[in-house]
Structures are given as structure tokens and as C-alpha cells.
Amino acid sequence: MEMKYETSKGGAVASLPEALQDMQQRLADLQARCAAQLSKDPSLFATLEKDIHLSFRQLADRFAASLLAHAASSDALADQSKKN
């Protein structure tokens, strides 16, 4: 079963290994972008901090979706649904 973000037209939820790789890449990009902006203008720190927190919340949501998709494809879920 394929799970998607937000709606049936959203992007497919990544597998756990893909989600981890995507998170690592997004964090590396965020770090580079924030470091570059901060080195040009240190007064941006407060704004960047808010962006960092937002990015981490979004990463947490993606990670949770990947875990749910993984669980949904497991035998344990199928067994549990048969019991109910």
C-alpha cells in the first residue's frame, strides 16, 4: 500500500531508509543556508531560529509518516486487524 502526504495527490511517503537520507540532506542544506545567511547578517539569528524550529517540526512530521507507513505494511498490523 502506498501512503501519501496530506491528500491522495500529495507526494508518496518515503520508506524509513529514504526518510533518513532525506532528513540528512535537508538538515545539511538548512545548516549551509543558515550559516551563510548568519555570516552575512548576524541580526537574522532570531528569524533563522524560527525557521530552524519550523524545519525540525516538518522533519518530525515526515519521520512520523514514514514510521506509520512502515507499520502499515507490517505483518503485525495485518495480524492486529484480523483480531479486531
* pLDDT tens digit sequence for 37-50: 999 999 999 999 99
> 12 pairs with which residues across the strands?
4
pTM: 0.73
Mean pLDDT value of segment 53-71:
92
Local confidence band at 33 (pLDDT 50, 70, 90 cut-offs): very high
* 77: enclosing H helix or E strand: helix 75-83
pLDDT tens by residue, 2-25: 555 555 566 788 889 999 999 999
Confidence (pLDDT) at 1: 45
3-state secondary structure 18-65: HHHHHHHHHHHHHHHHHHHHHHHCHHHHHHHHHHHHHHHHHHHHHHHH
Report the alpha-carbon distance of residue 51 to residue 45 in Å, rounded: 10
